[in-house]
Amino acid sequence: MSDGLNSTVSTQWLADHLSAPDVRVVDGTYYLPNENKNARQLYEEQHIENAVFFDIDDICDEGNPLPHMIPSDIKFASRVRKLGLGDGNRIIVYDQRGLFSAARIWWMFKLFGHKDVAVLDGGLPKWLEENRPVDDNKVYPGERHFTPRFNSFLVRDKGQMLKNLDTRKEQIIDARAAGRFTGETPEPRETLRSGHIPGSLSLPFTELQNDKGVLKSSQELRVIFEKAGVDYSKPIVTSCGSGVTAAVLSLGLELTGHKNISLYDGSWTEWGQEGETPVDIGT
């Protein structure tokens, strides 16, 4: 990261820099449809001072039948500009769970070429636990120019994933719960098959953090990845249910020093549909 901004920042760092003119704070919360929670409404009830709300179901390719797929660079730039997020900003993303969807927004900014972006470690729960201030004030951001520089190396599509079944050049790590990976637990989206992409490794994203959404140390993360079978000499593709928690694995890998990480945007919501994609069951 340029200007010394790491992939994550602590609550103390944000408290110390909250009034800095170049720092922008983003609530990037997303709840699954079956959770019956309204992320935007909860944001409006309480958020970190001057935080704007980033809706992954709005800043997406709405013409794609898959949920919250990446938008065009023009749409991304237009939407984040209106949120006051742009060139020269240090962008700090948090979510209301601790760490679930904030990493997806972190990855999206990197995908579109913005390097000064970090995730707030522990998110809003840690911020509140430390009695740091929140408010319900409406935020009126001034527009900020954003120059998109799309980095295709950070994302994979189904065609590339199918080709990789033959080449095995890239390792695939699946962030879903172990039961969904093995096929023992049904998918929350009823139309999808159960199982996993052949040759992929299972590493539920929750294993990278404690029960409060705080990431484990980089040394601990490295051990966790290697125990899951990750070969650090090979490129890695992260995957999950719909491209959200895969980014938690991408974040963890970056914190351990891995330099060649991409994310399968369609993830299991695409791969698990009936069609030409092969599926494995079990471990």
Q: 251, 257 in Cβ contact below 8 A?
A: no
| Cα–Cα dist 112/146, whole Å | 10
Q: 142, 29 in Cβ contact below 8 A?
A: no
Query: Hey, where are the domains in the chain?
Result: 2-150, 153-271
| Cα–Cα dist 157/169, whole Å | 15
The reported pLDDT for the residue numbered 283 is 87
The reported pLDDT for the residue numbered 189 is 86
Domain 153-271: give its CATH superfamily.
Rhodanese-like domain (3.40.250.10)
The reported pLDDT for the residue numbered 236 is 98
Whether 2-150 shares its CATH topology with 153-271 is answered yes
The reported pLDDT for the residue numbered 33 is 84
The reported pLDDT for the residue numbered 179 is 97
Q: For the stretch 124-133, what's the b/e string if a residue is b when 16 or more beta carbons lie within 10 angstroms of its beta carbon?
A: bbbbbeeebe
Residue 254 φ then ψ, to 5°: -65, -40
| Cα–Cα dist 92/9, whole Å | 8
Catalytic positions are: 240
Q: Sheet holding 52-53: strands in order across?
A: 8-9, 117-120, 90-94, 23-27, 52-53
Positions of E strands within 186-247: 201-202, 236-239
The parts of the chain modelled with pLDDT lower than 50 are 1-4
Domain 2-150: give its CATH superfamily.
Rhodanese-like domain (3.40.250.10)
Q: Which of 242, 237, 233 is nearest to 273 (CA)?
A: 242
